[in-house]
Amino acid sequence: MKLESLPKSKEFKKKKIVGRGPGSGMGKTATHGENGQKSRSGATINAWFQGGQSPLYRRLPKRGFNNKRFAVRYAVINLADLEKFFNDGDEVTAEVLKSRGIIKKQLDGIKVLAYGDLTKKLTVKANRFSSAAVTKILAAGGKTEVI
């Protein structure tokens, strides 16, 4: 067995020496090329970087479960609207509101809010009331009924 007949291994492989002048054949730019981001010192680029264009994960639509689909949405009506569209002693229900065009859709119910003043005596039937709306309706002499 001779020394030159031994199998070559990494231990004997000579390390590439770069950037040591023109005589080495790998001087000047040290195998980094002429210009560009990768030729600069300390340049590291993430594997998912796509050259400044909008990345793939932002171009694709969001998918998966979302609770918005199960949220309870109410058609909102203010006391100012009740004052404007109803007469003294009227009964306010979802059907009446829809037929008069005050609300477009009933959604999951109707909620009465306290924006505006109420001077008429009304019987208001709705799914939800704000506490301020209840006090204003009762102060005007009306009634509130939770459906």
Give the model's pLDDT for residue 115. 92
Q: How high is the pLDDT of residue 38?
A: 83
User: How does pLDDT run across 7-25, given as a tens digit for each residue?
Assistant: 777 777 788 888 888 888 8
Residue 1 confidence (pLDDT) above 80: no
**Phi, psi for residue 9 in degrees, rounded to 5:** -135, 170
Residue type, 63: R
Domains recognised in the chain with CATH numbers: 70-146 (3.100.10.10)
* Residue that wins the pLDDT comparison between 75 and 38: 75
Amino acid found at 66: N
The band of 77, judged by pLDDT with boundaries at 50, 70 and 90, is: very high
- Token pair listed for 134: 């209840």
3-class secondary structure per residue, the chain:
CCHHHCCCCHHHCCCCCCCCCHHHCCCCCCCCCCCCHHHCCCCCCCCCCCCCCCCHHHHCCCCCCCHHHHCCCEEEEEHHHHHHHCCCCCEECHHHHHHCCCCCCCECCEEEECCCCCCCCCEEEECEECHHHHHHHHHCCCEEEEC
